[in-house]
């Protein structure tokens, strides 16, 4: 939305959020500006949510970092909140000029808490605590710079597509993690389903949705170690499918460097515009199935 220049490009929080079935429903995704979804070990997806608001409330369960999520967060110079991470993910994070908000140990662990159960699916934080962490690191004295995307108004109702429309993605860990987006013409949104059921938010209980959906097509994932940790190639260029206003279209993406913004362009090289509202980006590596309908 339009804001005064003094409020443009605020410090953003990038939070790693659990995608495991035992962690459902997640908290905070409903208020994220952008959500990235990609595979972690065992074909189980994980989320990274980008928050611009300081009024999010409960966020989590918080999980560990992976290098490709760190590279996405670096586009925004975001404060990166996580619970540990893979060796290569932590090495990359420590080499970058971004606030590192570690949830397991160190000075920033006090900004996280255990909530609702045992195991690895119960570490949470909230927006007031993350704001305190940013102040402790004294990063709030500086102003980050990052390239914005372009935005436009929704198509009028009469110009939106009628009938069933959306996408399904098989992330390779069985039906439990299948993703489905279904278009709602009246609200001009894409309702999200996972495992054949509505993907709900905690604690509101409402179904998650996106105004824009991007299926980011990337090369086949690479297994790094015996634990099955993965690397996804998100630097370079490739194709993507954009779902917006009831239509799906093939676009191009490019991200030249770790700090470089991922830019989406049409077939003529013109940068595309998103509708104002939540953007969900699901990385689909080669060999995994997606279907448009």
Q: Where are the domains of the chain?
A: 5-141, 150-292
SS3 of 128-170: the string is HHHHHHHHHCCHHHCCCCCCCCEEECCCCHHHCCCCCCEEEEC
Taking the model in full, what pTM does it have? 0.95
Q: Strand, coil or helix: what is 273?
A: strand
Q: Considering the domain 150-292 in this protein, what is its CATH number?
A: 3.50.90.10
Confidence of residue 153 (pLDDT cuts 50, 70, 90): very high
Res 4 pLDDT > 90: no
Does residue 272 have a cis bond before it (omega within 30 degrees)? no
Residue 94's pLDDT is: 95
pLDDT of residue 119: 79
73 three-state secondary structure: helix
Same fold for the pair 5-141 and 150-292:
yes
CA angle 277, 281, 285 (to 5 degrees): 170
Residue 191 confidence class, pLDDT cut points 50, 70, 90: very high
The pLDDT, as a whole number, for residue 89 is 94
* b/e map 25-45, b = 16+ CB within 10 Å: bbbbbbbbebbbbbbbbebbb
Specify the CATH class of 5-141 in words. alpha beta
Q: What is the pLDDT of residue 137?
A: 79
């Amino acid at each position: 939305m339009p804001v005064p220049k003094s409020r443009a490009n605020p410090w953003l929080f990038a939070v790693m959020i659990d995608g495991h079935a035992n962690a459902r429903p997640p908290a905070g995704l409903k208020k994220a500006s952008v959500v990235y979804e990609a595979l972690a070990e065992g074909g189980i997806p994980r989320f990274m949510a980008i928050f611009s608001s300081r009024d999010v409330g409960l966020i989590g369960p918080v999980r560990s970092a992976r290098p490709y999520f760190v590279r996405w967060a670096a586009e925004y110079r975001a404060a990166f909140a996580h619970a540990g991470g893979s060796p290569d993910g932590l090495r990359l994070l420590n080499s970058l000029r971004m606030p590192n908000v570690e949830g397991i140990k160190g000075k920033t662990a006090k900004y996280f808490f255990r909530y609702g159960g045992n195991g690895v699916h119960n570490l949470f934080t909230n927006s007031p605590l993350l704001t305190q962490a940013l102040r402790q690191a004294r990063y709030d004295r500086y102003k980050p710079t990052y390239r914005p995307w372009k935005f436009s108004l929704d198509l009028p109702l009469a110009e939106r597509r009628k009938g069933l429309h959306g996408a399904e993605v098989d992330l390779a860990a069985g039906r439990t993690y299948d993703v489905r987006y279904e278009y709602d013409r009246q609200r001009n949104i894409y309702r999200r389903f996972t495992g054949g059921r509505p993907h709900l938010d905690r604690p509101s209980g409402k179904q998650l949705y996106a105004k824009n959906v991007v299926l980011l097509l990337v090369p086949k994932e690479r297994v790094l170690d015996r634990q099955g940790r993965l690397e996804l190639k998100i630097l370079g260029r490739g194709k993507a499918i954009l779902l917006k206003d009831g239509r799906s279209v093939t676009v191009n993406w490019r991200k030249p460097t770790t700090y470089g913004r991922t830019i989406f362009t049409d077939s003529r090289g013109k940068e595309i515009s998103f509708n104002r509202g939540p953007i969900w980006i699901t990385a689909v590596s080669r060999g995994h199935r997606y279907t448009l309908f």
